[in-house]
């Protein structure tokens, strides 16, 4: 153990009790040291040993506030807590995944503070008093200010400890992993996920529970209710905490621990996957890999995992530095927004394997040389190969699930493997209960989300490692110079066994809300009048409905989750409005058709689906309602 050096000043306590090397040194563990938070330093302990900072300004008794707008309230925790008066703010209802608005909206006075306080007002006190929370984020603009607000309100509400990723960075899947590993009560994620970032763009906040799963609607509805009646914010009067270096800062009984955002997550990945197997693939000279972090949070993970642990070349990581505005990009890994990667993969002599992840690291896109794996196929192929290629699944997955609009490719795998299968509404929060009840292992969404019960969020890097495992497993006996089994070979072999579910999604972003809402109203009306056997062009209706889901574990019901028309040949057209946008309404149309005939599997999805796409546009009268001629994104 390297030695530790301190610079100390009067009147403060330094209690390095968590540092095991200190515990064995009685003169340190029993002593009371004095220091100032600004000058105390514990340098050159071991590289991984946290720095301890102790604040002195607020560790004494509670004093009346000098501020005219707030009053101090007595708090047994030994820090001064101000009661800041506030008023309800309209529109703080969370959508599919957290609260997302433009940065300008979040910057309004008390906007974020109101929501955070409303959250504490909604939780049972035993879920956070003296408890342990995690705070992460995707590095976007406003995260730094937001982190300080969240920390102060957490302290003001009696939270015991908040564990923050260095510089406020920790991906959504890593927050879920850390909550579980550290047995924390929950955690915040500062992210608007795949939405663009910067002063003119989006910001967002999500809250996850102790199992690491996104807060269920019962909680988010309560938070919303409380935002409409809030009158006070409990704000600890503590200085901003330095989040740039690892270590613990104590304020009375409250502490902030800055941690490496990668280590717990990496440890979990090493337990789930066979790293030497993946390494054997990535270090082959006849296999070329590229990962596009899109200047988003996985930039912080890509190098330690793919390069340092798994032997990928350093230049295989593109856009690997997280930036506040994602380098002016739209950190959504799809064929439209990850265009640089797509150009490389479809270019002359493209690499063998390409992948990308989104703003907060929970989405993924998988590409082969000149080949795109649809997310609906991806989850089906991972599920079909999990047992043989991924150690975590060595006894086989417990069950499979997909969101309703995701294609039926996974259903066919569940059928063949005789596994329990679930269809849930859009949004990862609907998978968590099934996982906790041990009914579900592998699941996915058509929206580039894939994951398993190793955590309670979708997981971009996990999906890339799962695919690398499958490709590595298929090629493990291939000698140098022998032709490798490619990503497209894996997918085509899967189609040959199970049939192909052609799938496409059309997005019409930022439409006028009025027209979009009227269109959905019109479709609901159409559904109520429709009956089995109705003719829609060449298609015969099996049923049409507005999808509703009853959670098999807790019985909670989610209704109005998407209008669907299902035809007798298994084809589907589905319509819903996005719940993650920050302006206007985004219409999503999902189109799917099953094709058992291998000779037709090579068809381009857009051509194969053309009749259904035309049908979807005419059935919905989309052009009339929205004035849109073309989608903004096709996946």
Positions marked catalytic: 193
Helix (H, G, I), strand (E, B) or coil at 274: coil
Stretch that binds ligand VG1, among 160-168, 422-430, 473-481, 510-518 (CB under 6 A): 422-430
How far is residue 14 CA from its own chain's centroid? 37
| Secondary structure string (H, E, C) spanning 512-565 | CHHHHHHHHHHHHHHHHHCCCCCEECCEEEEEEEECCEECCCCCCEECCCCEEE
Closest distance of CB 332 from Co ion, Å: 8
Q: Candidates 217, 264, 358, 551: give the one binding ligand VG1 (CB under 6 A).
A: 358
**Residues in 586-625 that interact with ligand VG1 by CB under 6 A:** 588
Q: Does 360 bind Co ion (CB under 5 A)?
A: yes
Q: Candidates 292, 362, 457, 592: give the one binding Co ion (CB under 5 A).
A: 362
Closest distance of CB 488 from ligand VG1, Å: 25
Q: Which of the choices Co ion, ligand VG1, none does residue 447 contact, using the CB cut-off of 5 to 8 A by kind?
A: ligand VG1
Q: Does 96 bind ligand VG1 (CB under 6 A)?
A: yes
Count CA within 13 A, CB hemisphere, residue 634.
10
Q: Does 578 bind ligand VG1 (CB under 6 A)?
A: yes
d(CA 295, CA 317) in angstroms, rounded, equals 10
Distances in Å between the Cα of 599 and the Cα atoms of 372, 493, 500, 569, 602 are 19, 13, 11, 18, 7
Structure token pair of residue 372: 């795109």
Stretch that binds ligand VG1, among 222-230, 358-366, 378-386, 410-418 (CB under 6 A): 358-366
Structure token pair of residue 382: 């991972």
φ, ψ (nearest 5 deg) of residue 127: -85, -10
Closest distance of CB 354 from ligand VG1, Å: 19
User: In the complex with ligand VG1, which residue's Cβ is closer, 157 or 504?
Assistant: 504
Closest distance of CB 450 from ligand VG1, Å: 11
Per-residue contact track with Co ion, 177 to 196, x per CB under 5 A? ----------------x---
d(CA 307, CA 305) in angstroms, rounded, equals 6
Q: Does 592 bind Co ion (CB under 5 A)?
A: no
Stretch that binds ligand VG1, among 160-168, 441-449, 540-548, 611-619 (CB under 6 A): 441-449
Kindly state the number of chain residues that form the binding site for Co ion, as judged by CB under 5 A: 5
Q: Does 578 bind Co ion (CB under 5 A)?
A: no
Helix (H, G, I), strand (E, B) or coil at 21: helix
* 386, containing H or E segment: helix 375-389
End-to-end CA distance of the chain: 53
Per-residue contact track with ligand VG1, 190 to 229, x per CB under 6 A? ---xx-----------------------------------
Positions of E strands within 279-340: 289-292, 317-318
Stretch that binds ligand VG1, among 75-83, 525-533, 574-582, 600-608 (CB under 6 A): 574-582
Per-residue contact track with ligand VG1, 37 to 76, x per CB under 6 A? ----------------------------------------
Q: Does 450 bind ligand VG1 (CB under 6 A)?
A: no
Q: Does 358 bind Co ion (CB under 5 A)?
A: yes
Say if residues 124 and 265 touch (Cβ distance below 8 Å): no
Q: Candidates 579, 595, 621, 634: give the one binding ligand VG1 (CB under 6 A).
A: 579
d(CA 218, CA 174) in angstroms, rounded, equals 24
d(CA 167, CA 144) in angstroms, rounded, equals 7
Q: Does 561 bind ligand VG1 (CB under 6 A)?
A: no
| Matching residue, tokens 């613990």 | 248
Cβ-proximal residues to 537 (8 Å cutoff; 6+ apart), any chain: 611, 615
**Residues in 190-249 that interact with Co ion by CB under 5 A:** 193
Cβ-in-10-Å burial (0-12, 13-18, 19+) of 239 comes to middle
User: In the complex with Co ion, which residue's Cβ is closer, 362 or 459?
Assistant: 362
User: In the complex with ligand VG1, which residue's Cβ is closer, 289 or 575?
Assistant: 575
The residues that touch Co ion, with contacts defined as CB under 5 A, are 193, 358, 360, 362-363
The residues that touch ligand VG1, with contacts defined as CB under 6 A, are 96-97, 193-194, 358, 362-363, 403, 426-428, 445, 447, 449, 578-580, 588
């Amino acid at each position: 153990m390297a030695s530790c050096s301190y610079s100390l000043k009067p009147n403060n306590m330094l209690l390095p009790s968590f540092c095991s090397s200190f515990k064995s040194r009685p003169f340190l563990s029993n002593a009371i040291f004095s220091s100032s938070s600004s000058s105390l330093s514990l340098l050159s302990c071991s590289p991984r040993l946290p720095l301890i900072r102790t604040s002195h300004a607020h560790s004494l008794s509670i004093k009346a506030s000098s501020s005219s707008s707030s009053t101090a309230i007595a708090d047994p925790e030994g820090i001064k807590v101000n009661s800041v008066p506030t008023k309800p703010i309209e529109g703080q209802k969370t959508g599919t995944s957290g609260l997302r608005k433009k940065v300008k909206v979040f910057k309004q006075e008390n906007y974020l503070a109101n929501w955070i306080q409303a959250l504490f007002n909604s939780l049972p006190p035993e879920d956070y008093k003296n408890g342990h929370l995690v705070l992460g984020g995707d590095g976007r603009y406003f995260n730094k200010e937001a982190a300080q607000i969240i920390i102060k309100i957490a302290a003001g509400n009696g939270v015991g400890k908040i564990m923050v990723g260095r510089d406020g960075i920790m991906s959504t899947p890593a927050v879920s992993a850390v909550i579980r590993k550290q047995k924390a009560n929950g955690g915040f994620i500062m992210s608007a996920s795949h939405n663009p970032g910067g002063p003119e763009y989006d910001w967002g906040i999500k809250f996850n529970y102790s199992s690491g799963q996104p807060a269920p609607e019962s909680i988010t509805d309560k938070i919303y209710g409380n935002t409409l009646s809030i009158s006070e914010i409990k704000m600890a009067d503590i200085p901003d905490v330095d989040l740039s270096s690892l270590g613990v800062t104590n304020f009375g009984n409250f502490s902030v621990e800055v941690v490496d955002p990668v280590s717990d997550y990496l440890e979990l990945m090493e337990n789930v996957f066979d790293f030497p197997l993946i390494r054997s693939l990535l270090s082959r000279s006849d296999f070329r890999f590229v990962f596009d972090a899109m200047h988003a949070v996985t930039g912080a993970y890509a190098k330690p995992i793919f390069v340092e642990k798994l032997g990928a070349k350093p230049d295989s990581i593109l856009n690997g530095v997280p930036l506040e505005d994602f380098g002016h990009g739209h950190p959504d890994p799809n064929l439209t927004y990850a265009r640089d990667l797509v150009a490389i993969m479809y270019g002359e002599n493209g690499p063998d394997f390409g992948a990308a992840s989104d703003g907060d690291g929970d989405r993924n896109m998988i590409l082969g040389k000149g080949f795109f794996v649809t997310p609906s196929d991806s989850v089906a192929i991972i599920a079909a190969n999990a047992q043989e290629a991924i150690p975590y699944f060595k006894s086989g997955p417990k069950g499979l699930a997909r969101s309703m609009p995701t294609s039926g490719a996974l259903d066919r795998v569940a059928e063949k493997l005789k596994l329990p299968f679930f269809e849930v509404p859009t949004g990862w929060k609907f998978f968590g209960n099934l996982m906790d009840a041990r009914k579900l292992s592998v699941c996915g969404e058509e929206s580039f989300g894939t994951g398993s019960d190793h955590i309670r969020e979708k997981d971009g890097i996990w999906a890339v490692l799962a695919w690398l495992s499958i490709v590595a497993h298929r090629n493990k006996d291939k000698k140098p110079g022998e032709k490798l089994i490619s990503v497209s070979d894996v997918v085509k072999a899967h189609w040959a066994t199970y049939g192909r579910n052609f799938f496409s999604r059309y997005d019409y972003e930022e439409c006028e809300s009025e027209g979009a809402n009227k269109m959905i109203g019109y479709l609901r009306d159409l559904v109520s009048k429709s009956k089995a056997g109705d003719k829609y062009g060449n298609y015969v209706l099996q049923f049409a409905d507005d999808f509703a889901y009853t959670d098999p574990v807790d019985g909670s019901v989610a209704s109005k989750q998407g209008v669907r028309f299902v035809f007798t040949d298994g084809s589907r057209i589905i319509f819903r409005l996005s719940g993650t946008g920050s302006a206007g309404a985004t219409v999503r149309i999902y189109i799917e058709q099953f094709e058992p005939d291998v000779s037709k599997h090579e068809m381009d999805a857009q051509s194969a689906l053309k009749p259904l796409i035309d049908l979807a546009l005419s059935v919905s009268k989309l052009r009339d309602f929205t004035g849109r001629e073309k989608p903004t994104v096709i996946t």
